[in-house]
Amino acid sequence: MNQAISFEVTEQNFAAQVIEASHQQPVLVDFWATWCGPCQSLMPILEQLAQSYQGKFLLAKVEIDSQQGLASQFGVRSVPTVKLVKNGQIVDEFTGALPESQIRAFLDKHIENESDQLMQQALMLYQQGDSEAALSQMGQILQAHPDNLNNKLIYTNILLREQHVDEAKKWLESLSAVANDNPQVQAMQAQLEFIHIVDNAPDMVTVQQQVADDPDNSEARYQLSAHAILQGQFDIAFEQLLEVVKRDRQFQDDAGRKALLKLFDLLGDKHELVSSYRRKLALALN
C-alpha cells in the first residue's frame, strides 16, 4: 500500500498528517484496535478503497490503545470508528464495519470525482433544455461509473421529470437495499406509485366530480390525491387522503394512511405541510 495514501498516525504527527493535510484533500481517520474483530475486517476494505480512489482521500489509522490521547480527544467510545476530516474539521463519521457499498456512498458525498464532474456537465445541458442529449450522456456516465449512487439518483430523478417512467422504475429497482433507506430513493419510489395511480384513473376533473357527487367514494378521493400530487397541489392531496383515513380505514388495506406516509417521504420533514398533517393523521388514528 502506498504510504502516501495510507499510514499510521500518532499524537505527535496527527496535526501535520491529518489536520493540515485535510486542507489539500479529505482524510479518512480509522480508529481501530488490535483486539477488535470488526476492525480487522474493515481495514482491508478501507485500504482497498484508498487505492481505488487513487489518492482522492488519505487513510490515517489510529490504534486506540497506543494512542489513547487521540481516542479521548475525538470522543471515540467504540471501535471501529471512522471520521472524515476536510479543511481541518470533522464533516462526517460512522461506526462499525460497514460493507464496501455503504462506505463508497459515505465517501461519494464528500469526494468529487470524474463522474461527478461529467454529471454536472450533463445537468447543465439538461438545464439548457436539451433533455434527450443530457439523458443520453447521463446513461453513458453511469455505464462507465456504475458505483456512484448520487449520480444514479440524479439520473433517475430526471427520468421521472421527463416521464420516462418505465426506465426510472428499472433504475429504482436496481438500487441496493441499503440505498432504499435513502430519503431521495424513498421520495422517488413514492412519486412512482402516485404516477401509477394516475395512469389507472380517470382525469382529474372526472374524479373531482365523483367526490362531489359521493363524498364517501374513497377510490375517487385516492385518485384525486394522486392527480393533485403530480400537479404540485399538495394541500388538496393531503386533505383528500386524510378524508380517506377518517371515512374508510378498510379501503385497499388502509391505502389512505399508507399514501400519506409516502407523501411525507416525497416532500420531506422540512415541507411546511408535513408536520401539520402528521399531527392530523395521529389524531385521526386515535
Mean confidence (pLDDT) of the chain: 92
Q: Does residue 202 sit in the same domain as residue 233?
A: yes
Residues 6+ apart with CB under 8 A from 263: 190, 229, 234, 237, 238, 241
- Convert the pLDDT of each residue in 52-72 to its tens digit: 888 889 999 999 999 999 999
Residues 6+ apart with CB under 8 A from 157: 184, 188
Q: Does residue 147 sit in the same domain as residue 81?
A: no
Mean per-residue pLDDT, 32-56: 94
Name the residue with higher pLDDT: 4 or 45.
Answer: 45
Name residue 95's beta-bridge partners.
81
Q: Can you give the pLDDT at residue 109?
A: 83
Domain boundary among 52, 82, 108: 108
pLDDT band at 208 (very low <50, low <70, confident <90, very high): very high
Q: How far apart are CA 8 and CA 32, in angstroms?
A: 11
Cα dihedral value 138, 143, 147, 149, nearest 10 = 30
Rounded to the nearest 10 degrees, the angle between the axes of helix 183-199 and helix 165-174 is 140
Q: How far apart are CA 150 and CA 168, in angstroms?
A: 15
Q: Does residue 39 sit in the same domain as residue 87?
A: yes
At 107, the amino acid letter reads L
Q: Does residue 50 sit in the same domain as residue 121?
A: no
* pTM for the predicted model, two decimal places: 0.61
- Which one, of 127, 122, 153, lies nearest residue 138 by Cα? 122
Q: Can you give the pLDDT at residue 1?
A: 44
Catalytic residue among 27, 33, 39, 98: 39
Q: Can you give the pLDDT at residue 2?
A: 45
The rounded Cα 35 to chain-centroid distance in angstroms is 34
Q: Can you give the pLDDT at residue 181?
A: 75
CATH of the domain at 201: 1.25.40.10
- Convert the pLDDT of each residue in 139-192 to its tens digit: 999 998 887 888 898 999 999 989 899 999 999 888 766 677 778 888 898 999
Size of the chain, expressed as the number of residues it contains: 286
The answer to the question of residue 187 being in a domain is no
Q: Does residue 255 sit in the same domain as residue 208?
A: yes
Q: Does residue 217 sit in the same domain as residue 263?
A: yes
Q: Can you give the pLDDT at residue 177?
A: 65
The answer to whether residues 22 and 57 touch, using CB atoms and an 8 Å cutoff, is no
The answer to the question of residue 99 being in a domain is yes
Q: How far apart are CA 258 and CA 92, in angstroms?
A: 33
* 3 has pLDDT over 60: no
Range of the domain at 156: 114-178
* 91 has pLDDT over 90: yes
Q: Does residue 162 sit in the same domain as residue 245?
A: no
Mean per-residue pLDDT, 117-124: 92
Strand, coil or helix: 253: coil
CATH of the domain at 74: 3.40.30.10
Phi-psi region at 88: left, alpha or beta (left = phi > 0; alpha = psi -120 to 50): left
Q: Can you give the pLDDT at residue 125?
A: 95
Q: Does residue 161 sit in the same domain as residue 100?
A: no
* 120 has pLDDT over 50: yes
Q: Does residue 150 sit in the same domain as residue 95?
A: no
pLDDT above 90 coverage of the chain, percent: 77
> Does residue 39 carry a catalytic annotation?
yes
Q: Can you give the pLDDT at residue 237?
A: 97
Catalytic residue among 18, 36, 62, 197: 36
Within the chain, how many helices (H) and strands (E) appear? 14, 5
